[in-house]
Structure 1
Amino acid sequence: MQAPINIALVGNPNSGKSSLFNALTGLNQKVGNFPGVTVDKKTGMAQIVPGLTANIIDLPGTYSLYPKSADEYVTYNVLINQNNADIPRLVIIVADASNLKRNLLFCSQIIDLKTPVIIALTMMDIARKKGVEIDIDGLERELGVPVVAINPRKNKGVTEIKKVIDLAIRSQYSTQPRDFINNTALAKEVIEEVKRVVPCKSDYGALHIATNVEDLPFLDETQRQAIKKSLQAHQFNKTKMQAEEIMQRYARIKHIMKAAVVETDPLQKQLRSEKIDDLLLHRFWGYAILLVVMFLLFQSIFWLASYPMSWIENGFGALSGWLSSSLPDNKVTDFFINGILAGISGFAVFVPQIMILFGLITILEDTGYMARISFLTDRLMRQVGLNGKSVMPLISGVACAVPAIMATRTIENRKERLITIMVTPLMSCSARLPIYTMMIALVIPDKRFGILGLQGLVMMGLYLLGFFMAITIAALMKLFVRIKEKSYFIMELPVYRSPRWANVGTTMVEKAKIFVKDAGKVIVVISVILWFLASYGPASKREAVHRKYEPLLAQVAPGSPQAAELNKEFQSAKLSTSYAGVLGHAIEPAIRPLGFDWKIGIALITSFAAREVFVGTMATLYSVGEDPDNNNATLREKLSSAKWPDGSPVYTLAAGLSLMIFYAFAMQCMSTMAIVKRETKSWKFPAIQLLYMTGLAYICSYIIFHIFR
């Protein structure tokens, strides 16, 4: 079997490229970074035919070979740089048949690079509804490259395109010998000089190297200076050349459209998508429907997840109780039950909510509604120094701030991109969900007003609070970030489609795996460390506790109420004098005004590794500090019975709301700080983020606690 070949998937945004990638690779995918940049590199292995395996590279979507954003430059570099490790043997251009004229501009540019090309036509059903009929054989003749109609969402045409790939690799299709337009005539002398300095397969590739000589990372300084000297000598005008090229390409495309495309209804009947948009993008009803959708999403998270969460919670409680009664009473048993098992239960109980959240978000993306949210909020975004493109990273921040911040690469305007990066962590990510869920269940009564649940309304309120705080901070930053650069928001709205349920299910399972693997690993490690810190302490303090309580316990009957109460005090005193207790009591004065005790203080520190560690920390601390006979109690029950030294409950409504507000605004995530540093190339911005978010969290938490106490 020959070594896998590289096949690049390129195309305009919303053309169906990702659907074809998924159809070709299935679950055999991985995501990394392109060398030297922070843009996602999505690759997957595909069996084309027996004996032929391909490495499919899904390149970021772009409208032409004139890049504007960081991810478009990645696509550009892979296609232009002949020395790139990802240089494709074959390029599949995914083109939207319902917008063929616009898609053919990019197709014609790729064809002129002289890399073997296959055009995969998607959205044929939409084109027919628009009254557009495409003569595929005629289009092949005009373009000089193979054209295949596909519908990857329904797995149609995938077998056919694999056959064409096989034929192309076996040189049954050659590259088009004639350029789509006369590229040489655009700048003949410059093209000849570039080809002398840099290896190029085509005149058009040489023309692009001349056009972007300052920005191409694969050029060395000698090559760069030689090309710049040629540009000056021949008075090369980049803008004029690009305008002439585009005009010539559209003139040729117009001829191809006449020869291969028939529009049976020139006026194009209004599609179902357009009729739906009349309602969903309405200046009043659009926003009302958006709020209803968000409300249903958060209600569903509580309603759908309540049963599996209860089963998992009770299951771990019963398992802990059974192990406590079955295993010998020693340090190994204590370490396993209160260290490892408590840590696992701390994150496992929230897996159903994580799956449901990502499943619902995938449905919104698959149906095309997520793009409408960007369109709806563009006007609001502009008033605070952002634009509609900022909405997608903010919405993605509901899942996780790390990929959301990476998604800001599509924002061309530097000021808007920087502000978006700085406020995105204020969006309530899925790592905050376990904390919200635990606190809401603990301090918010389960009252219902018809179909409305109070707990679901509070959850929705926390997410909306994060969004409104993000745009408020953005409006303030707009005054201080002194970058003057105009921006425009142009976005093609995808047609509405029914969600791919297999894709929804796969996403839910994959996100659950990631949560268990990444977050779970950190939570268990920290839980084990905490067990040691909570189980051991300074010898003098521990001995004093034993001297005080052991004689008292010897004086009461084992199993009596007095013995149970004394034992509880004994365990609490041991925890208080442990290393974790000493650290917690040291920081308690700083957090006491927020309604937090020293155990919450420990959790605040550990959750800097990841916010969701908070729950695992509390599970470990309350397991170590409890009576061994109470191991079958759930974490919620243990928290609800927690008391201050004066006997008053720790988790009151005021304290619960204060804690939720603190986590809604605090940074509390090292991974986010690291990705902000990568994207901004400076530690200044994550440092500013940490300071302003921590200060904001402290002040708001303080105000909420003293209002509700």
Structure 2
Amino acid sequence: MRTFAPTPMKRPYTIALVGNPNSGKSSLFNSLTGLNQKVGNFPGVTVDKKTGISAISDTLRASIIDLPGTYSLYPKSADEQVSCEVLLNREATERPDMILVIADASNLKRNLLFCSQIMDLKIPVVIALTMMDIAREKGMTIDTAELQRLMGVPVIPINPRANKGIAQLKKTIEEVHRNPVQNRQYFTDIPALHTPWIADIQELCGQASGYAAFHIACSYSTLHYLNAAQRIRIGAILGETGFHRSRLQAEEIVLRYRRIDAIIQQCVVTDSPMRKMLISDRIDKTLLHPLWGNIILLIVLFLLFQSIFWLAQYPMNWIEALFAMAGNATAQVLPPGYLSDLVVNGIIAGLGGIAIFVPQIMILFGLITILEDSGYMARISFLTDRIMRSAGLNGRSVMPLISGMACAVPAVMAARTIQNRKERIITILVTPLMSCSARLPVYTMLIGLVIPQHRLGIFNLQGLVLMGLYLLGFVMALIVARVMDLLIKAKERNFFLMELPVYRAPRWKNVGITMIEKGRIFIRDVGKVIMVLSLILWALAAFGPPGRMQAVERRYEALIAQAPEAQKQELQQQMATEKLEHSFAGIMGHGIEPVIAPLGYDWKIGIALITSFAAREVFVGTMATLYSVGNTDDTKTLTEKMRDARRPDGSPVYTLATGLSLLIFYAFAMQCMSTLAAVKRETRSWKYPALQFVYMGLLAYVGAFIVYNIFR
């Protein structure tokens, strides 16, 4: 029998997208790849890696990798370090066959510095020129043909937001793919590139470019892909030559800008020597004003949280009524027994607990996308910078905290851009105090249960309470950060520098896609957890120690047999409730009840607290299951069942005091295993997740205790 060696899989043609932050790189990535995207992590680090497939032509399909934004090949953060490693490591699986540099035409001089560095790596390059409309508003006219001649690489003006220039860009990529040019002259003749030690490092690391070897010499101690022998040899070479990194880097930048200035003089015409004030600048005079800017920010946040209740009210009511009808109809079709109980009180109740909050999740992410896409989200960072510094944090901490309103996991990962270790650790520790979308289902359920739908003029009281919870999380994060700043001593301080993007109209298609995608992710990822736990809870609530359950059944069967027809329904309800109390779930709940009773919670709430430590949203599914198993009336919605819940003395379970206590507990408690795992990955220690879990748990318990006793 003949055997054949397996044919090695051909490596796909890879194009790396690089560019300065806010240059339009993400818009181009979305335009090229559409929905053929996936997000993972670069090997060995927790930095996002976005990849996608793009049909460049009928004969060329390329893998597009979106590298983190960076201003130069001298990295200052984990994101920039990853970009540099991918570009310098010839053995990396992400190694690009072509580099697509996205350059902001309205900031051409600064962007061409990075472009020129990329060109000298001796990898085929295409420059995509974005923001041409902004450049025209500034009074700049750019001769792209002349710019292409002077740079020596293709230059294509594009507008990915409007899908303009993409066809020409793909055509150019196809041409460069067929005829790659790598042996062009260096953009700048740096004297260091002609020294013998550069050739030695170039040979040692297998580089085609002396300039790449120069950057390896500058950063060899932090490049993870180099092995120990290479590091030792490079260190020895540089020690023999008296290598002075800072001096050579400064010399390189001066030489590059000298040639860039000459290029700009030849291909850029400015209408006026005075820079024109853009519409964005005029808007910023108001939105970044120390007084009016903060007032407008509060109004924007107020409208955001009001809209979550106002816009989601009707679809939520429809979904809740639909699942109530489905449960009732199923109960009438299926014969009484465990199968009917499983389908109605386990599956349908669990699905209802997931689906009802999808409208609010979609609306929240849609509104956040509008703020990001319009450019206003970056302004929030600047407006809150002074407050952050008063709490001992760098202004860069603002973006992780703001991101925490959506999800704490990427927010914790976003803290890697903070260079100061102390400020980065404090930011990671306080970020989960920001109210994330996982808390939203809990908030809205409890607010709808205990806060009346009163209107204070044009204001919705429930929306005001929701906004108050989000502000409470932000204020508590600042207080805890200040305490940690006083306890942790460090001399290193950083300054907050950030480029503000211009204001643009939101891309409504992008907003719609984001809403659908986030709703789908909520149903798929969170829904799986809720469904699994709902089914486990159903089993724990439906079964118990045989002796106890049978004793309850025998006692009530005798009472029901002797009771008048009018009382049988009530007795059946009492039997279902008592069986639930004697079930495995009931035993667990009663076991922890003494600990949570001072907070105003009964044993059912105790079960929900336990299950929701896996994920906060599970609270809703737990309530749906417990109140379905213990209730024989399938026509009522979950809110109605919880509102009718009574303690043994006949008083309602969900009073204003209990509801507010629960809201405070969920605002502060660390109930997310994914966040704890992310903190462990970022800090590379279990010490910080443990500290986070303990201090947030104590904060939640004490806060809930105080609130309950104030309002009881």
Which interval holds the TM-score relative to the shorter structure? over 0.9
Equivalent in the alignment of 1:74: 82
Q: Given residue 600 of structure 1, which amino acid in structure 2 is its aligned partner?
A: I
From 590, 599, 606, the counterpart of 1:594: 599
Alignment-derived partner of residue 694 in structure 1: 697
- SS of 2:21's partner is coil
Per-residue CA distance 1:250-297 (angstroms, 9 max, x = gap): 111111111111112221221100000000000100000000000000
Post-superposition Cα deviations, 1:352-375, rounded to whole Å, max 9, x if no partner, equal 000000000000000000000001
Encode CA deviations 1:230-261: one digit per residue, 9 max, x unaligned.
11100001111111111111111111111111
1:245 aligns with 2:248: no
Residue from 3, 26, 29 that aligns with 1:18 = 26
Q: Note the C-alpha offset of 1:187.
A: 6.7
Match of 1:536 in 2: 543
State yes or no: 1:665 paired with 2:668.
Answer: yes
Match of 2:609 among 587, 604, 610: 604
Task: Report the AA paired with residue 537 of structure 1.
Answer: G
> Alignment RMSD, CA only?
1.1
* Counterpart pick for 1:371 among 360, 378, 391: 378
1:507-656 to 2 correspondence within 5 Å? 507-558=514-565, 560=566, 562-627=567-632, 630-656=633-659
Which residue in 2 is equivalent to 1:349? Answer: 356
The counterpart of 2:150, out of the listed 142, 154, 160, is 142
1:179 and 2:186 are equivalent in the alignment = yes
Q: SS at 2:510's partner residue? A: helix
Residue in structure 2 matching 1:114, options 94, 111, 122: 122
1:166 to 174, 184, 187: 174
Q: Deviations over 1:121-174 (max 9, x none)?
A: 000000011011111111111110000000000000000100000000001x51
Match of 2:3 in 1: none
User: Following the alignment from structure 2 to structure 1, what is the Cα–Cα distance between the partners of residues 11 and 277?
Assistant: 49
Tell me, in whole angstroms, the C-alpha distance in 1 between the residues paired with 2:202 and 2:55. Answer: 36
Question: Is the 8 Å Cα contact of residues 609 and 619 (structure 2) preserved in structure 1?
Answer: yes
Question: Which amino acid is the alignment partner of residue 436 of structure 1?
Answer: Y
Q: Which residue of 2 aligns with 1:482?
A: 489
Q: Which amino acid aligns with 1:80?
A: L
Q: Which residue of the other structure, out of 471, 474, 498, is the alignment partner of 1:464?
A: 471
Letter of the structure 2 residue corresponding to residue 541 of structure 1: R
> 1:625-651 CA deviation, whole Å, 9 max, x = no partner?
111xx1121000000000000000000
Counterpart contact for 2:193–2:210, Cα < 8 Å: no
Q: Quick check: 1:186–1:241 contact (8 Å CA) kept in 2?
A: no
CA contact (8 A) 1:379 1:387 kept: no
Query: What is the aligned partner in structure 2 of residue 704 from structure 1?
Result: 707
SS state at 1:631 partner: coil
Would you say the 8 A contact 2:404–2:434 is kept in 1? yes
**Shift of residue 192, structure 1, vs aligned partner:** 1.7
Alignment correspondent of 1:156: 164
CA distance in 2, matches of 1:413, 1:63: 19
| Distance in 1 of aligned mates of 2:283 and 2:695 | 42
* Residue correspondence of structure 1 range 18-417 to structure 2 within 5 A: 18-171=26-179, 173-175=180-182, 177-185=184-192, 188-417=195-424
Partner SS for 1:49: coil
What is the distance in 2 between the residues matched to 1:304 and 1:634?
20
Q: Distance in 2 between matches of 1:566 and 1:185?
A: 91
Post-superposition offset of 1:197: 1.4
| Displacement after TM superposition at 1:454 (Å) | 0.4
**Which whole-Å CA distance do the structure 2 matches of 1:3 and 1:199 have between them?**
20
Partner Cα separation in structure 1 for residue 545 and residue 420 of structure 2: 56
8 A Cα contact 2:104 2:111, kept in partner: yes
In the alignment, the residues of structure 1 paired with residue 599 and residue 132 of structure 2 have an alpha-carbon distance, to the nearest angstrom, of: 59
**Structure 1: gaps (5+ residues):** none
Distance 2:84 2:46 in 1: 15
Contact 1:390 1:420 in 2 (8 A): yes
The whole-number CA distance in structure 1 between the counterparts of 2:650 and 2:555 is 21
Structure 2 unmatched runs, 5+: 1-8
Q: Deviations over 1:376-419 (max 9, x none)?
A: 11111111121221111111111110011111111112111111
539-548 vs 130-139, greater mean Cα deviation? 539-548
Q: Distance in 1 between matches of 2:192 and 2:304?
A: 57
In the aligned structure 1, how far is the partner of 2:591 from the partner of 2:386? 48
> Counterparts of 1:245 and 1:378 in 2: how far apart (Å)?
34
Cα separation, 2, equivalents of 1:124 and 1:483: 45
Give the superposition deviation at 1:478.
0.6
Give the conservation status (yes or no) of the 8 Å contact 1:112–1:179.
yes
Cα distance in 2 for partners of 1:43, 1:406 equals: 18
Alignment check: 8 A CA contact 2:192 2:198 kept: no
Secondary structure of the corresponding residue to residue 30 of structure 2: helix
Structure 1 residue identity aligned to 2:214: L
SS at match of 1:262: strand
Return the alpha-carbon distance in structure 1 between the equivalents of residues 591 and 685 of structure 2.
33
Once the 2 structures are TM-superposed, how far is the Cα of residue 87 of structure 1 from its aligned partner?
0.4
Whether contact under 8 Å (1:8, 1:56) holds in the other structure is yes
- Count of matched residue positions in the alignment of Structure 1 and Structure 2: 704
Tell me which residue corresponds to 1:501.
Answer: 508
Distance in 2 between the 1:230 and 1:578 partners?
73
Instruction: Report the alpha carbon displacement of residue 184 of structure 1 after superposing the two structures with TM.
Output: 4.6
Give SS of 1:296's match: helix
CA contact (8 A) 1:20 1:152 kept: yes
In structure 1, C-alpha distance between the alignment counterparts of 2:198 and 2:190, rounded to whole Å: 9
Residue 667 of structure 1 aligns to a residue whose secondary structure is coil
- Between the aligned partners of 1:26 and 1:177, the Cα distance in structure 2 is 33
Q: Is the 1:183–1:203 contact (alpha carbons within 8 Å) kept by the matching residues of 2? A: no
Query: Normalising to structure 1: TM-score of the pair?
Result: 0.98
Which residue of 5, 8, 13 maps to 1:5?
A: 13
Q: CA deviation at 1:449?
A: 1.7
Query: 1:176: Cα distance to partner?
Result: 5.4
Please give the alpha-carbon distance, in whole angstroms, between the structure 1 residues aligned to 2:154 and 2:461. Answer: 58
Aligned-partner Cα distance in 2 for 1:338–1:196: 69
Give distance in 1, aligned partners of 2:11 and 2:606. Answer: 55
